[in-house]
Structure 1
Amino acid sequence: MSLALPVLVRGINNLSDARYCAGMGADGLIFTLDPTLPGAVDAATVKELAGWVAGVELIGEFGNVPSPEINRLVAECGLTSVLLRLDRSRQTLPEGLAVPALVEVPPAVITDQHYFTAAIADLSTALPQGFAFFTSLPSTEPLDTAYWYGLTRQAAIWVGGLHTPAEAQRLAQFVRPTGLILEGGDEIKPGLRDFTELEAVFEVLEEV
């Protein structure tokens, strides 16, 4: 399936999600490998689920985890990149990462030009392997497509926190970010999963 934008799916913790998202054209699957974060899985689970899918990148999500441990899991799980949460639990970025990073930041960092410019400079120094931003859309105001288009021309930005499939469609048509990050979910029971929300987004991205 050809999608209008690259798509990553976050919070993968079951085979149903892994196979469905890979089959629908997702470019990558994000596994929470930091045991202090909600929904974390272990390396054995990542390797087991990865054995059932092909053609997708494997990405690990981390909070306040030292670089050597991140790099160990990168090697063990065959990760192509990592997602780093930049929040109160991590005041400084890890250095010496073996792979590129997606760095999750609040919308305020992206939309404040001063902070955005400083963040680009800081990340360029700290993450020589490469980086991109990941942020969620503000939930309190309509999507200003022209404004966000300008932001996505300054740096690689992945967008999450979509509220409706129509929002994904507008992003694909008018903003053209680097890609979208969708949220996975839990199985109702082994082998049974409701994909209604994910399916609606994949469908509009196929139609754009």
Structure 2
Amino acid sequence: MLALPVLVRGINNLSDARYCAGMGAQGLIFTLDQQLPGALDAATARELAGWVAGVDIIGEFGHVAGAEINRLVEECDLSGVLLRLDRGRPAWPQGLAVPVLVEVPEVVLTHPDHLAATLADLTASFPAGFALFGEAPRPYATDRAYYHQLARQAPLWLAAPADPTQAADTAQQVHPAGLILSGGDELKPGLRDFTELEAVFEALEEA
């Protein structure tokens, strides 16, 4: 059992989907915005998701209208969305039917005025609920202490460091809502090297 919730981003093959679900990931993130690198079509995402059970299926989008996101939410049976948006205060998609995870730049997370304005915007724009997603803090105690306080202001997900020890330290010292790992490509159909991903999963297991 993992010590905290984990999502895996960039799922594009069945090997990753089944492996991550089996290792205890809470959710799998599929890139469904065709303007983003590595995007999958809805049919492929549905097919991959159909091979796993007991995990959240999340769609990743950039600048896509709320109506189109909601269409794909229904078509792919998504439980949430991850929004990749530019710096500044963008026009948020309107009327989303599911909770959102908003990827925000470091300047928002580390600047009190930017953070306050962003939280106010998100509260007004996403009544179904929202969480923040950003980069993990640097491996210094002062940074982790700051992010720990930030995680008490709003649900905060962090990109998990690739180093297993740093990933475990971030989980233990920051106490975020969860960590987000990155999936990878198969070496060939049905063949995938999980060495690095396995090390991080094992480091996040509860003692």
Q: Same fold (TM over 0.5)?
A: yes
Segments of structure 1 that go 5 or more residues without pairing to the other structure are none
- Deviation per residue, 1:81-131 (Å, 9 max, x gap): 000012159931111001000000011101111111111111000111100
1:72 maps to 71
Contact 2:87–2:105 (CA under 8 A) maintained in structure 1: no
- Deviation per residue, 1:119-146 (Å, 9 max, x gap): 111100011110000001356x636221
What is the identity, as a one-letter code, of the residue corresponding to 1:142?
Y
Distance 1:154 1:188 in 2: 41
Distance 1:89 1:146 in 2: 25
1:39 maps to 38
Distance 2:5 2:82 in 1: 16
Which residues of 2 match residues 1-208 of structure 1 at below 5 A?
2-87=1-86, 91-137=90-136, 142=140, 144-160=143-159, 162-208=161-207
Distance 1:185 1:89 in 2: 30
Please list every run of at least 4 consecutive aligned residues from structure 1 whose deviation after the TM superposition is greater than 6 angstroms. Answer: none
CA drift at 1:166: 1.1
- Deviation per residue, 1:49-103 (Å, 9 max, x gap): 1111000000000001111110000000000000001215993111100100000
Segments of structure 2 that go 5 or more residues without pairing to the other structure are none
**Matched positions, count:** 206
Distance 1:200 1:58 in 2: 23
CA 1:53–1:89: 2 relative to 1, 3 Å = farther
Distance 1:147 1:163 in 2: 21
Contact 2:30–2:40 (CA under 8 A) maintained in structure 1: yes
What is the identity, as a one-letter code, of the residue corresponding to 1:165?
P
Distance 1:12 1:88 in 2: 25
Instruction: Give aligned-pair identity as a percent.
Output: 65
Pairwise CA RMSD:
1.6
SS of equivalent to 2:204: helix
SS of equivalent to 1:79: coil
What is the identity, as a one-letter code, of the residue corresponding to 2:189?
P
CA drift at 1:22: 0.1
Contact 2:137–2:147 (CA under 8 A) maintained in structure 1: no
CA drift at 1:20: 0.1
Distance 1:90 1:40 in 2: 25
